[in-house]
Structure 1
Amino acid sequence: MRILVVDGDGDLLQAIRRAFWKRHRAWEVLLAQTGAEAVQVLARDPVDIVIVDLGLPDMAGVDFIHQVRDLQPGAVRIALADSPLAEGQEPAEGALHRLFLKPLEPDFLLGVVESLDIEDDETNVRAIRAFVGGLGRIPSLPSLYSELVALLQREDAGMNEVARLIRRDLGVASQVLKLANSVHCASDRPVAELGRAVAMLGVDSLRSLVLFRGIISGADSPRPQGLDLEKLWFHSFEVATGVRKLVVLEGETQLADLAFSAGLLHDIGLVVLATDPAGRYRAILEQAQTSRTPLAVLEHDTYGVDHAQVGAHLLSLWGLPPSFCRPVREHHAPPSGGEGFPLSAALHLADARHGGGKTAGIFADGRWGLHPHVLNDPERFARWKACLAM
């Protein structure tokens, strides 16, 4: 992997290189102290990741970020700043994958890079990176999600403090209450207090809900073409509930929160594709509704990627772990065999099962979509179908 780090502080550059090489000798870490030096590197050498301080001495950080996107759209773009984006820097936000405030330790950056899970030379992986990286505007990590993650990392953080944070966004707060009452419908009494709802949902489910609603609420510019966002929410919730039922059925309760969260975000790539500035996605959605061709196939024919791949890559860029991103990426084509619980297959089956009814159309595969041999266990396949049919 080749990483370009751009910062006017030469000592910091060397410290970052030492930290990276200490753990990953195979990484090639390129350094530049000015935007002009960095542009020369980008014009000459392919890179996987660009880390840049937006306070460059010779050019505006926003201009540099846009040059990176134009020269190497497949590169992950990580920006550092002394303060939240100031006036004149806002255009950079839609072209960034991650933004962190300084000061920070080199080991922190190392952890960020390690979490990206992009060390794969397969052609289709590079195509996905190039597609997402080349978008005119990338959905940014919702600020409420970042604040929530930071709060949950504190040892003294309590559920009441988490509830106060969630309460700042009425849309998210209402969905938390709705979700808590839906998931825990067997509870003795309705969940009316946000603090209780937060405690009942659990940390992982809460984070994913905040992330989902943040992406949806930020999807107004540009507006997704032909995509019913409320229908997407309903479908995603049904799938999340279904896949969690499957892991609980199999006694894999430790995977329940992961399964629910992956189900909630499995189709988030639809929102990204639906903002295609060329305006092609509406026609793809219409064709998927009127033909027997699966949506993912139509997407791949047009873009070379599908919404599952795009969504998984975006989640990876935001720092979600491979165990989360993998089932999202594979939910239309789960692999057979493998070790451990087949979460990708469970997600695929829940997605196919909940594609009809109120969410008929683009969310439906038109079939259960999963042959028993994929699970290597026909009895499990039948058991899962029965569970989801309840």
Structure 2
Amino acid sequence: MSRRVLVVTDDPAVRRALRDTFAPLVAEWEATFSSGTEAVKHLLGLRFDALVLDAHLPANGATELLTEGRRRNPSMARVVLAAPGRTEVIGLVALAHRVLPRPCPPDELVGVIQRTYSLRELLNSPSLAALVGRLTTIPALSAVYTRISEELAFPDFSLATVGGLVAQDLGISAKLLQMANSALVGLRRPASTPSQAVRILGADLTRTLVLAVDLFSHYNPYALRPFSIEALWEHSQAVAELAAAIAVAERAEERVIRESALAGLFLDIGRLTLASQLTGPYKEILALMRHQHLSAVAAETRVLGTSHAEVGAYLLGLWGLPDGLVEAVAWHHQPSGCPGTVFTPLTAVHAADAILQEDEGAEPDWAYLERLGLRSRYSEWKGLARERTSAHVP
């Protein structure tokens, strides 16, 4: 059975191009083309798996359609096409899963639609829903993070205000400075105060780094033994640094480099959540890993029916983080499950995680790297890890 995609545009040239894009995919995607004024009728009549929307509809047409589509079918993949530099697109970012340039290369558009749909499907699986239902609480965002996020949302946000908010929490302040001065960010000069770190990092990077630190800072490391929060945080930082270096080596876009690093920090947030809220089952998982030499994913799936990767992706989606991060966390152990043939943050994070756990028998998903034509690059990425290890040795 083919999936349904609703394509909405009032521009004849864009419509012709999109018809050509979907024509070869008729067996997989049944495309319905609509004008902006007729699109709501289609949404009322059929259930679509994806919505591809031209941002440049009259009045607030794009905003209204995205809002209605999300209300009627939250799991529908929502992709927006927008000409670069158009200010009205800013308001659509929060409503869409992905925003792509218009015109968009057909292969890129199809790849994004397939990955976005697959991610929505993964996050709505019954096994994940059942596990999330067992969690007593969803990890909450602290008041400090919320206030920082609200201040950074203003175009003219105050560096002094944000720095002062960061400084209120010594744990967040110390870790933010540590990351701001690490190879992860690569600052030309060290930051010695929270305000300096914020000035150099910028709003988006500061917000996401504070979220990562905030989440790790609110757990008692002694209460979760033998699970080690310290080891998890150190590994996450190492993956973040190496993933960013791999993305740089592949000459990826700045957005991909940044999301590769940030996805590394959130890589195992699902493990932290499971270990803290399902302490009994997770001790059973750790015992299986230790005595039967199972991987974390295999042991978690045996005991819980799903793994920390899906739980982590669910949480990131709940907190509104970009799809690139959510995708990387969701499939970082099994990237072959994610459609696509191009380098993404998932590629960087999966490779970095495998390289850093090679001593424990980890291997990359060779079939995935073959599909992307990157198998031969893996040895060079391992060299980057050795270089970074040497640089950290005093």
TM-score by length of 2: 0.64
Instruction: Please report the RMSD computed on the Cα atoms of aligned residues, expressed in angstroms.
Output: 3.7
Q: Which amino acid aligns with 1:370?
A: D
Q: Which runs of 5+ in 2 are unaligned?
A: 1-42, 45-61, 76-90, 99-115, 388-394
- Within the candidate set 365, 374, 377, 1:377 is matched to 374
**Are the structure 2 counterparts of residues 148 and 159 from structure 1 closer, same or farther at C-alpha, using a change threshold of 3 Å?**
same
Mapping of 1:236-315 within 5 angstroms? 236-254=236-254, 255-277=256-278, 279-315=280-316
More helix per residue: 1 or 2?
2
Q: CA deviation at 1:163?
A: 1.3
Q: Is the 8 A contact 1:316 1:322 kept in 2?
A: yes
**Are the structure 2 counterparts of residues 323 and 112 from structure 1 closer, same or farther at C-alpha, using a change threshold of 3 Å?**
same
- Within the candidate set 348, 351, 354, 2:353 is matched to 351
Q: CA deviation at 1:156?
A: 1.0
* Counterpart-to-counterpart distance in 2, 1:27 and 1:210: 28
* Counterpart-to-counterpart distance in 2, 1:185 and 1:218: 24
Q: Is the 8 A contact 1:244 1:256 kept in 2?
A: yes
Q: CA deviation at 1:332?
A: 0.5
Aligned-residue identity in percent? 29
* Counterpart-to-counterpart distance in 2, 1:204 and 1:321: 11
Q: Which amino acid aligns with 2:276?
A: T
Q: Is the 8 A contact 1:225 1:274 kept in 2?
A: no
- Within the candidate set 375, 382, 387, 2:384 is matched to 387
* Counterpart-to-counterpart distance in 2, 1:341 and 1:111: 23
Q: In the alignment, which residue of structure 1 is the partner of 2:182?
A: 182
Q: Which runs of 5+ in 1 are unaligned?
A: 3-18, 30-46, 50-108, 358-363
* Counterpart-to-counterpart distance in 2, 1:145 and 1:251: 32
Q: Is the 8 A contact 2:270 2:310 kept in 1?
A: yes
**Are the structure 2 counterparts of residues 133 and 199 from structure 1 closer, same or farther at C-alpha, using a change threshold of 3 Å?**
farther
Q: CA deviation at 1:205?
A: 3.4
Q: Is it true that 1:215 corresponds to 2:210 in the alignment?
A: no
* Counterpart-to-counterpart distance in 1, 2:190 and 2:339: 42
Q: In the alignment, which residue of structure 1 is the partner of 2:156?
A: 156
Q: CA deviation at 1:132?
A: 1.4
* Counterpart-to-counterpart distance in 2, 1:213 and 1:167: 13
Q: CA deviation at 1:375?
A: 3.6
Q: Is the 8 A contact 2:332 2:350 kept in 1?
A: yes
Q: Is the 8 A contact 1:139 1:218 kept in 2?
A: no
Q: In the alignment, which residue of structure 2 is the partner of 1:66?
A: none
Deviations 1:125-165 (A, max 9, x none): 23213321331122112322222221111111143332122
* Counterpart-to-counterpart distance in 1, 2:246 and 2:340: 18
Q: Is it true that 1:338 corresponds to 2:346 in the alignment?
A: no
Q: Is the 8 A contact 1:167 1:173 kept in 2?
A: yes
* Counterpart-to-counterpart distance in 1, 2:154 and 2:71: 34
Q: CA deviation at 1:223?
A: 4.5
The number of aligned residues is: 293
TM-score by length of 1: 0.64
Q: CA deviation at 1:120?
A: 4.0
**Are the structure 2 counterparts of residues 48 and 219 from structure 1 closer, same or farther at C-alpha, using a change threshold of 3 Å?**
farther
Q: In the alignment, which residue of structure 2 is the partner of 1:126?
A: 126
